[in-house]
Structure 1
Amino acid sequence: MNKLWVWIGIILVIGFIINYWMLIVGAVALYYGIKKLVKYSKEKKQQKALIAEQQQIIENQSSIEYKMERLLILTNNIDPNGYKRQLYKNKQQLDLRDYWYKYLDLRAKLILNDTPTYREEEVLHIMCDELLIRMDNLEIEVTDAVKKEFIEENLMPLLKDVVEIMEDISPVKTINMDAYRLLKANNH
């Protein structure tokens, strides 16, 4: 009797499969299709995130700050904490990092006054690119002292000139202090 029920069950299952085979195949295909689609969308999202991250890295590496920091590291002029950021104002003899900080401060002041500094920055980009290319493509062993001397001899005069030029630039749109003084005088 047990065998009979087993055979009846097998016949019912086979009958069900024969009658509904298209639905079963469709359901299995739909399951694997959705699974593949979810996997594809996850991979695509990860790929987009990776591409965005790589573009951000490339963008950061093309900034003047990144290039200059690399050159300063090559000259062993390391200032990781920025503890001497404003000390250049008290010095008589400025070094490469001091001129860099002075440039950054002048650029910030000019940008705050809506004065473009792209020409001066482009000159620094060109020089930094040239120096970095030369440092990266060295075919012989060069000591750090020679690298430092080479970078400082080529970059220091240019950076000094750029800083002097930027000091002479008068801002395009300064904050109107006359209106403030007039308002203050009228209130007293």
Structure 2
Amino acid sequence: MTRRGLLGAFAATAVSSAPMYANAAGFLRGGGDVRRIAMYSGRTGESINMIYWIEGKYIKEALKEINYFMRDWRVDQAIKIDTRTIDIMAAAHGLMDVREPYMMLSGYRSPQTNSMLRRKSRGVAKNSLHMKGQAADLRLKSRSVHQIFKAAAACRGGGVGKYSGSNFVHMDCGTVRTWGR
């Protein structure tokens, strides 16, 4: 059976549910038989909508596609994205009970891109987790920055930053912390 056939079979039988915010940590630790991520990039015009985890196992081919999608498009360089970050993104998305894909503003950043962005903005960290494939900057049209922030913070899986002025939320799998207005 092909990967797409396998994914199609599981997708056809998957039932989605949105856990309460209070249950977010349990959801992140193992609730559910299927995990899905849906994103698009305004920069590249690409989109993904795929199951990347089934019955406790990550799907290697799906992770490869996610790694490529979340690449630094400025230098066309991809690295392995930390699955914990993908899990946080998927869990927060599920908590918001939306079908709309995330708009990904930034996934992996090469050191060159991070340095360039630091010169242009004081909000870019010198040792950003983006350079390790452990962070993403995301937005949704149908949800406010505050709603996305609240859902991601409820997962308690890493850092969550609220950038209301720029209309995005930063999610990473580093130390649990929050910031922003």
Which bin holds the TM-score, normalised by the shorter protein? under 0.3
Q: TM-score, normalised by structure 2?
A: 0.25
Give the structure, 1 or 2, with the largest relative contact order (CA under 8 Å, sep 6 or more).
1
Largest Rg, 1 or 2: 1
Query: Which of the two has greater strand per residue?
Result: 2
